[in-house]
Amino acid sequence: MINRYSRQIMRDVWSDQSKYAIWFEIEMLAHEAMESIGLIESGLTKKIRDKLNNITFDVGRISEIESKTHHDVIAFLTFISEKIGEREARYLHQGMTSSDILDTCLCIQLKKSSYLIREDLTALLKELSKKAEEYKYLPTIGRSHGIHAEPTTVGLKFAQAYAEFDRALKRMEIAEKEISICSLSGSVGTFANIDPRIEKYVANKLSLNIETISTQIIPRDRFAYFFASLGVLAGSIERISTEIRHLQRTEVDEMSEQFQEGQKGSSSMPHKRNPVLTENLTGIARLIRGAVTPALENISLWHERDISHSSVERVIGPDTTILMDFALSRLTNVIKNIVVNKKNIKVNLDKLNGLIYSQRILLLLTQKGVSREDGYDMVQKNAAKSWDKQSDFKKIILSDKGIMEILTKEEVDSLFSLEYHLKNVDYIFDNVFGE
């Protein structure tokens, strides 16, 4: 992933140094396990660890070896042998396959990535909660199909986003458990050449669960679930980004990204303030979702294993998690610094001259004995007049003899109430933020 869309903390999880350190630890823990159950001589693990204490893995040398072996794990093991000597290295990788190392390592990297993503989500939820509370009762127009519908509040918009990302956090917790797996079962997963106790020992030391049954590789449905969870989360990022982008349009101008001092909009039009951050997040979300289908297709492999999944995971593992970490951090800053235009929110709320209260008139007519069909026609006819002439809807209703034979002026006046639409805001907030 390019540095432009990444943060160092997540890049470090996927660095070659990190990968080789994990491989080494898996190998050494397996070596230690063999020693603990009497399969190899006592003290040999310590000798190896002492020789390689604080080692920096020579990526160039390992790559050089791999150019000859055409096998990354063998190249790594050869490098270790060069450092400690062939005799002391002879028990490394006993009974294991490259899949044991690669899959367990991938699980560790995804687990570390998931931890960072959950931290990101927690930070985002904090900012969404603050904005929801700040604008809890600020009325704004709700839109259906992009058309003015009925009043809601700005706080409810943020509360909805909070609930959505809170669900995402719970899904990530489950997804993390799905991939927190250690599998050291050897060729075709039968433990023929490796004692099952070794797997249990390593898993315990690495705070992983063991795979119930492996076919030499960890079943790919686990990874598919993880990447699918990231895909859903990406969809939520795009949803709120799209909302902000729409609200920042000149014709709406209710909410916008912070425009910082010294920031430039258009290269040609100095007046412009573009929603570049949320547009960027929209694109990143599409990239992340693009990983879901290949992850799903990885589930179906030949017999006990093949490596058609490998090239996919070498790309989507780092790229999607790095992008997700970046996206959540960027979105958190967008929400933290969001600009809410209260003046224009009021202008837009009043823009349709009271048409947003049409449903209340319809409902009261039905409560007075009018059929729904007749009531709808009566209200719609007057709504069309108000829309076409841009005139006051309440005045038009009050001048309709048919309606005023059924309703009183006091009843009509009471229907044009903004407070009516906000009466259950506290109830919704309790649902979202309550214990």
Q: Which of 42, 67, 70, 145 is catalytic?
A: 145
Cβ 221 vs Cβ 296: under 8 Å: no
Q: Is the pLDDT of residue 228 over 90?
A: yes
Catalytic: 266?
A: yes
Cβ 164 vs Cβ 143: under 8 Å: no
- In terms of C-beta density within 10 A (0-12 exposed, 13-18 middle, 19 or more buried), how is residue 235 classed? middle
Task: Return d(Cα 362, Cα 379) in angstroms, integer.
Answer: 6
Quote the pLDDT of residue 204: 97
Catalytic: 99?
A: no
Residues of the chain with CATH 1.10.275.10: 11-84
Q: Answer yes or no: CATH 1.25.50.10 is held by domain 355-415.
A: no
Q: Point out which residues pair with 143 in neighbouring strands.
A: 148
Tens digits of residue pLDDT in 318-369: 999 999 999 999 999 999 999 999 999 999 999 999 999 999 999 999 999 9
Tokens 């490394």, residue?
A: 92
Tokens 């719970």, residue?
A: 170
Q: What is the DSSP letter of 269?
A: -
Domain 11-84: give its CATH code.
1.10.275.10
Phi/psi at 393 (nearest 5 deg)? -65, -40
Residues of the chain with CATH 1.10.40.30: 355-415
Higher pLDDT, 88 or 378: 378
Residues of the chain with CATH 1.20.200.10: 98-348
Q: Which of 15, 63, 207, 266 is catalytic?
A: 266
Give the CA distances from residue 234 to residues 125, 212, 283, 311, 313, in Å, rounded to whole numbers and listed in that order.
15, 30, 10, 22, 18
Q: What is the pTM of this model?
A: 0.93
Domain 98-348: give its CATH code.
1.20.200.10
Quote the pLDDT of residue 53: 85
Tens digits of residue pLDDT in 5-42: 899 999 999 999 999 999 999 999 999 999 999 999 89
Tens digits of residue pLDDT in 45-83: 999 998 888 888 999 999 999 999 999 999 999 999 999
